[in-house]
A and B are shown apart, each in its own frame.
Chain A
Amino acid sequence: MLKNAIGREIPERIEGLGELTPYQGPFAIRPKNRRRGPQLRQVEPGEKKLLPNLEKALIETGAHDGMTISFHHHFREGDYLLDKVIDAAARIGLKNLVIAPSSLTNVHSSLIEHIKNGVIKRIETSGLRGSLGEFISKGMMDTPVIIRSHGGRARAIEAGETKIDIAFLSVSSCDNYGNASGCVGRNVCGALGYAMVDAKYAEKVVLVTDTLVDYPNVPASIDQTDVDHIVVIDAIGDSGGIMSGPLRHTSSPRDLLIAEYTAKVVEYSGYFKDGFSIQSGSGGASLAVARFLRDKMLEKNITASFMMGGISAQHTVMLKEGFVRKLYDTQTFDLEAVKSLAENPNHVEISAAYYANPHSKGAVVNCLDVGILSALEIDTDFNVNVITGSDGIIRGASGGHSDIAAGAKLKIVIAPLVRKRMPIVVDRVNTVTTPGETIDVLVTDWGIAVNQKQPELMAVLGKTGLPLYDIKELQEKAESITGRPDLIKYTDRIVGIVEYRDGSIIDVIRQVM
């Protein structure tokens, strides 16, 4: 075991995953390799790409035991494709598959059966929820899952660390030569930002749609030059599912109080000026921050240059009203936003690599002024956990959290001080997904703590009348209500490794007792 730069014990090697590099700092690892692309291929005039079903697509693309299949999670809780492909793989007798979806949600619990019956051997993902997260946390897989951020996944794919043999990508509409969109079709999902990376780098790309349209289906998010085959099925997903999950609009006074404090921190931080940029997360308070800022923007007569993050109707209204000049969209969070992406030229779809890949010539996160982030837990060193619950079970997603925290100029974590009788500020988070050195401020309903590494910001906010505390004082306040929770009991067995965006290991997740 080695201790990484934030003091977490990391094994030097894990059976089935190989050598591990411990985390050394947010920009310590410099890339040395070249991008790894797919084998060149010639599709000749007259060749047909349409295949009758998923089994045929697996066979035609050379599916074999132990290969890696990737998926995207743009349909979130409404995804149908992943289950259908794995069922098809099981029917033709494939075993030991590695699946590398951009994330997994509550609808993917059927994977448990396929892990038990040997079809799936290993998982790489951003998140895990529901019974699948519980199953894995209880040590039911032989090889640990790899948890990556969205930028980290794009990096791993481009670097060839995640070598995708076949990408099965559901698209809302497609023509018979592989031009695909998420904005048009029977079941729309909006941006295809995660899928765009898979389409460029997977050895074989199979698009799956329920809406085959006339050639050419342009503008296309994924284009014909990257696509091997197309399969038409009855339904790829449920558009309604893109709104579920953690996203919600809030009227909760607690969320609104946090949002109000956060908007004030942004306002006084020095970054709130004409042309500023901001990303906000998917929680209720996070979405409400934008509403408070809107009023301040009106008052000060300023506009934002761009906003990003999961894009929702609220962002698109601000775009239409002229509060923001461009929206960057990797993942679309509701149907109103899908409509805007289709119609408004200033609402721009971007790939996960463009959004956050650290080993590129400049991801959008590097251009961001303010990032608003959530937390399941934060420790007194400002390390954040967004992956394991207070019971140690995997029930979250790394998402763009560490990417935003590394890139943006002002990184604010927002959370209620107490959630479901558990304190949010702790001595040591169960799992670190984002290192504390990349977090500047914690805003809670009880008050605000500034990272000591930001003395200037602390001095500026100190003059504003906002309720500022040392993070340890906030911890004491939380514990005065909840008491100090018992530590979770883990076995030594590692069930997941958490990669930092640069590919080093920031933490491991152990099996809960």
Chain B
Amino acid sequence: MNRIRRTMLFVPGNNPSMINDPHIYKPDSIIFDLEDSVSLKEKDAARFLVYNALKSIDYGQTERVVRINALNTPYGREDLEAIVRAAPDAIRLPKAESADDLCTADQIISEIESKAGLAEGSVKLIAAIETALGVINAYKIASAGQRVTAVALGAEDFITDMKSERTNSGFELHVARIQILMAARAAKIDALDTVFSDVADEDGFKQEVMYIKKLGFDGKSVIHPRQIEMVHSIFTPTVEEVSYAKRVIEAAVEAETSGSGVIALDGKMIDKPIVERAYRVIGLAKEVRALA
């Protein structure tokens, strides 16, 4: 795990009043968007605004990510030239379809880091997978170099590409979600789920967040500050979970100390993966506490 990414809040890059202080809503990450939420005539202004915001505003512990335009558009390269110099924590590359896309971005970022005097590899990459080809190449994308820190599903473009339709149950995204998740796990990076657009549908949102948490995602992109609390509450280990994990770890330590090969708790045998999960729960709880 690189860092905790339960929520990534999208903020339109051309909206000064929203760029000022999205961290007050306490998302784990902010994604300043230069792509879909910014019209063509606003691209320059948004780039300028986000660059200056990153240079001058203290966003505290919140991860600062910028979604640039795709590198095959007239804006992507210029976005990188400006934004990397402002030293964000990560660049979110849209419509990643192959390892080459990531390698190209990696190379450009390395050049700019070097020119700007930044440590090489300091600006991470998050690959947004939004097409059928991208899903098929998910593992290659996820493992395309040290800079790649997470893969994310972008559902709207994917649905369009697939000629399918969005449903409440999300079955149309199931294969893509699983494929992206497996790629992330194999590459040992984060897997991030797509946005839920209907802000008013709190129940639907809750169901989806619970579902993707059970699948194994590390977090979800959100489009409204009011969605943050729900994701955090679902992704934060409960007191009971933490207490059980502690007992599992204590039992494992005790077994090791006594030289016993078998770990037991409440009369049940505890397998090694259960101990591993317990450490993960404690780790997540600690990180959440540190953020709070």
Does the CB pair A257–B57 fall under 8 Å?
A: no
User: With the chains together, A445 CA to B21 CA distance in Å?
Assistant: 9
B residues 146-177 in Cβ contact with A at 8 Å: none
Does the CB pair A253–B226 fall under 8 Å?
A: yes
- Residues in B neighbouring A254, C-beta threshold 8 A: 24
User: With the chains together, A445 CA to B57 CA distance in Å?
Assistant: 16
B1-31 interface mask toward A, CB cutoff 8 Å, 1 = contact, 0 = none? 0000000000000000000110011000000
Does the CB pair A446–B21 fall under 8 Å?
A: yes
A418 at the interface (CB under 8 A from B): yes
Find the B residue at minimum CB distance from A420: B17
Q: A254-B24, A446-B24 are in contact. List 7 more A-B contacts (CB 8 A).
A: A253-B224, A253-B225, A257-B225, A418-B20, A445-B24, A465-B292, A480-B56
A169-207 interface mask toward B, CB cutoff 8 Å, 1 = contact, 0 = none? 000000000000000000000000000000000000000
User: With the chains together, A417 CA to B292 CA distance in Å?
Assistant: 21
Does the CB pair B21–A253 fall under 8 Å?
A: no
- Residues in A neighbouring B225, C-beta threshold 8 A: 253, 257
B58 at the interface (CB under 8 A from A): yes
Does the CB pair B24–A481 fall under 8 Å?
A: no
Find the A residue at minimum CB distance from B53: A481
A256-B226, A446-B21, A446-B24 known; A480+B292 contact, CB < 8 A: no
- Residues in B neighbouring A446, C-beta threshold 8 A: 21, 24
The 10 closest A-B pairs by CB, nearest first: A253-B225, A445-B24, A481-B20, A446-B24, A253-B226, A253-B25, A257-B25, A257-B24, A465-B292, A481-B57
Between-chain CB contacts (< 8 Å), 23 pairs: A253-B25, A253-B224, A253-B225, A253-B226, A254-B24, A256-B226, A257-B24, A257-B25, A257-B225, A417-B21, A418-B20, A418-B21, A445-B21, A445-B24, A446-B21, A446-B24, A465-B292, A480-B56, A480-B57, A480-B58, A481-B20, A481-B21, A481-B57
User: With the chains together, A480 CA to B56 CA distance in Å?
Assistant: 8
- Residues in B neighbouring A417, C-beta threshold 8 A: 21
User: With the chains together, A281 CA to B139 CA distance in Å?
Assistant: 55
User: With the chains together, A254 CA to B18 CA distance in Å?
Assistant: 10
Interface of B, secondary structure class, is loop
- Residues in B neighbouring A480, C-beta threshold 8 A: 56-58
- Residues in B neighbouring A465, C-beta threshold 8 A: 292
Interface of A, secondary structure class, is helix
User: With the chains together, A205 CA to B58 CA distance in Å?
Assistant: 60
Find the B residue at minimum CB distance from A446: B24
Interface centre among A256, A446, A480, A481 (most CB of B within 10 A): A481
Find the B residue at minimum CB distance from A253: B225
User: With the chains together, A417 CA to B17 CA distance in Å?
Assistant: 12
A393-424 interface mask toward B, CB cutoff 8 Å, 1 = contact, 0 = none? 00000000000000000000000011000000
User: With the chains together, A445 CA to B24 CA distance in Å?
Assistant: 7
B residues 212-230 in Cβ contact with A at 8 Å: 224-226
A residues 432-489 in Cβ contact with B at 8 Å: 445-446, 465, 480-481
User: With the chains together, A248 CA to B48 CA distance in Å?
Assistant: 34
- Residues in A neighbouring B292, C-beta threshold 8 A: 465
- Residues in A neighbouring B57, C-beta threshold 8 A: 480-481
User: With the chains together, A480 CA to B25 CA distance in Å?
Assistant: 18
User: With the chains together, A418 CA to B57 CA distance in Å?
Assistant: 14
User: With the chains together, A499 CA to B57 CA distance in Å?
Assistant: 41
User: With the chains together, A256 CA to B226 CA distance in Å?
Assistant: 9
User: With the chains together, A481 CA to B22 CA distance in Å?
Assistant: 13
- Residues in A neighbouring B224, C-beta threshold 8 A: 253
B280 to chain A, nearest CB (A): 24
- Residues in A neighbouring B21, C-beta threshold 8 A: 417-418, 445-446, 481
- Residues in A neighbouring B56, C-beta threshold 8 A: 480
User: With the chains together, A253 CA to B20 CA distance in Å?
Assistant: 14
User: With the chains together, A267 CA to B101 CA distance in Å?
Assistant: 52
User: With the chains together, A511 CA to B24 CA distance in Å?
Assistant: 37
User: With the chains together, A256 CA to B56 CA distance in Å?
Assistant: 26
A505 to chain B, nearest CB (A): 37
B59 to chain A, nearest CB (A): 11
A462 to chain B, nearest CB (A): 15
A349 to chain B, nearest CB (A): 37
B11 to chain A, nearest CB (A): 12
- Residues in A neighbouring B20, C-beta threshold 8 A: 418, 481
User: With the chains together, A121 CA to B15 CA distance in Å?
Assistant: 47
User: With the chains together, A418 CA to B20 CA distance in Å?
Assistant: 10
- Residues in B neighbouring A257, C-beta threshold 8 A: 24-25, 225
Find the B residue at minimum CB distance from A256: B226
Interface centre among B24, B225, B226 (most CB of A within 10 A): B24
- Residues in B neighbouring A481, C-beta threshold 8 A: 20-21, 57
B292 to chain A, nearest CB (A): 7
B residues 45-75 in Cβ contact with A at 8 Å: 56-58
User: With the chains together, A465 CA to B21 CA distance in Å?
Assistant: 20
A76-98 interface mask toward B, CB cutoff 8 Å, 1 = contact, 0 = none? 00000000000000000000000
User: With the chains together, A256 CA to B24 CA distance in Å?
Assistant: 12
Find the A residue at minimum CB distance from B20: A481
A residues 243-259 in Cβ contact with B at 8 Å: 253-254, 256-257
User: With the chains together, A160 CA to B56 CA distance in Å?
Assistant: 57
